[in-house]
A and B are shown apart, each in its own frame.
Chain A
């Protein structure tokens, strides 16, 4: 049985008359990177704050690393690293001083503190910032400093709220590399992001939230299955037009002089049959490529479907 780092059941959170979360349940497997997606105002930050024990749910339960978030918040906080979506750094301190203070706060023994600071600097590639005061940093540098602070005590679980927001492509690549490295070291990462292409690249699992309710929790393949995701296939010939056997379920979404794009689920046998029939007809087939739908498209589809269901009811 897979061990769970986070188990949230039936979370309810209200801010006055506004219900931010309703019956929100999901689980995060230990040692995985899990993406948390939803539109602005869907309840992502509220959920992350409940998991990070900064906020209490009005109802429901949340267990983090086996501890009840409501009953033992301080026991949990020492074992997690949390990076909020926006945070400030003390402009007059150097990074080394700043991290040094946190090693002391986390109760790391004196002789181990410098080593921990160096390890965090190395891991987040902030060595060049170590002796610089924390002002006039770029957004990417601020994020890396925040990550170094969140990792200084070697937490088991890392909760990141929009860590890729405002990062340039190079910084995003570095962030993804760092998250993969953390997973290799057995850490669990739970992160929200609007950059769904990045999530698709690095995440093992997904939690999709819409208007305070989780509409999916599981692996990405499961999300695609739930969305009854179809694959788009492009069949290209060198010179002759490509035709499609009429028995296949799906539709031609684009057609060129010597190529077609077909959307539908084709088994390997059906694909082989199609190619064989084309070749038998003398069509010089040179390519049959699957063009997968992106996570972004799946997410948009999921949200649209939910809205249609709501409108119908």
Chain B
């Protein structure tokens, strides 16, 4: 697995997709914070409090980070899947290892970009954002894992770039089902153990299916 991760890291670092993806959640978090903060400074007294602004911005950053996990998993080996160059890996290792590595890479990417976004907000407000870091990290890790698995599944179904939209919609769909079932807004929602189990179960199924499809794609 480390070899596939090293390959993914080297490749995405050198083609600059890693940096481009990492910057995105930071901009997603800092953008709304800057806009709302400036709005308060120019005299608007209505709207969210400074703490709420940071919380909303942090949440947007985390959501973007999770989306990014899915995009990372989709994009990193998209070229290799499209050209069947990934077949060379399947002579050296099993498809499940390739897919699992891709998901780990996506999950780590999602988590890292979320932490960078939260850290940037912390620097801007001059303190720690008012969030419970432990629960945020757990939610981001599990959600990124699910998102990355769905991204990996999407690329094995079709490596057309537009399929990334499918990967993102699948991720949002899966992650918002508990909110819809409970009729809760995302700000108030606290994830429960069954929800984590559901996210992980979806990720495991997507992983298995992606590995199966990867093997099939290399045969054609």
Q: Which residues of A contact B (CB under 8 A)?
A: 49, 52, 54-56, 74, 77-78, 80-82, 84, 86-93, 97, 101-102, 104-106, 149, 153
How distant is B150 from chain A, measured CB to nearest CB, in Å? Answer: 25
How distant is B143 from chain A, measured CB to nearest CB, in Å? Answer: 29
The distance in angstroms between the C-alpha atoms of A81 and B91, with both chains bound, is: 8
Does B83 contact A87, Cβ atoms closer than 8 Å? Answer: yes
The distance in angstroms between the C-alpha atoms of A92 and B89, with both chains bound, is: 17
The distance in angstroms between the C-alpha atoms of A153 and B84, with both chains bound, is: 21
The distance in angstroms between the C-alpha atoms of A153 and B93, with both chains bound, is: 12
* A interface footprint on B57-89 (CB within 8 Å = 1, 0 otherwise): 000000000000000000000011001110111
How distant is B220 from chain A, measured CB to nearest CB, in Å? Answer: 8
B16 closest partner in A (C-beta):
A92
The residue in B4, B80, B92 that gathers the most chain A C-beta atoms within 10 A of its C-beta is B92
B14 closest partner in A (C-beta):
A92
Q: Which residues of B contact A (CB under 8 A)?
A: 2-4, 6-7, 10-11, 14-15, 79-80, 83-85, 87-94, 218-219
Contacting residues, chain B, for A77 (C-beta < 8 A): 90-92
The distance in angstroms between the C-alpha atoms of A92 and B79, with both chains bound, is: 13
Does B11 contact A102, Cβ atoms closer than 8 Å? Answer: no
Contacting residues, chain B, for A102 (C-beta < 8 A): 3, 88, 92
Contacting residues, chain A, for B79 (C-beta < 8 A): 88
Contacting residues, chain B, for A74 (C-beta < 8 A): 94
Question: Of B11, B84, B85, B94, which one neighbours A92 at CB under 8 angstroms?
Answer: B11
How distant is A72 from chain B, measured CB to nearest CB, in Å? Answer: 13
Does B3 contact A105, Cβ atoms closer than 8 Å? Answer: yes
Contacting residues, chain A, for B85 (C-beta < 8 A): 87-90
Q: Report, nearest first, the 7 A-B pairs whose CB atoms are least far apart.
A: A92-B14, A105-B92, A104-B3, A88-B83, A88-B85, A55-B219, A105-B3
The distance in angstroms between the C-alpha atoms of A183 and B92, with both chains bound, is: 23
The distance in angstroms between the C-alpha atoms of A58 and B147, with both chains bound, is: 36
The distance in angstroms between the C-alpha atoms of A106 and B89, with both chains bound, is: 9
Q: Given known contacts A87-B88, A97-B10, A105-B93, what 14 new A-B pairs fall within 8 Å (CB)?
A: A52-B91, A56-B219, A82-B91, A86-B83, A87-B83, A87-B87, A89-B85, A91-B15, A92-B14, A93-B14, A101-B3, A101-B4, A104-B2, A105-B3
The distance in angstroms between the C-alpha atoms of A91 and B2, with both chains bound, is: 20
How distant is B87 from chain A, measured CB to nearest CB, in Å? Answer: 7
The distance in angstroms between the C-alpha atoms of A278 and B149, with both chains bound, is: 84
How distant is B171 from chain A, measured CB to nearest CB, in Å? Answer: 27
The distance in angstroms between the C-alpha atoms of A105 and B93, with both chains bound, is: 6
A155 closest partner in B (C-beta):
B91
Contacting residues, chain A, for B89 (C-beta < 8 A): 105
Does A49 contact B219, Cβ atoms closer than 8 Å? Answer: yes
Contacting residues, chain B, for A90 (C-beta < 8 A): 7, 11, 80, 85
Question: Of A78, A86, A91, A149, which one neighbours B88 at CB under 8 angstroms?
Answer: A149
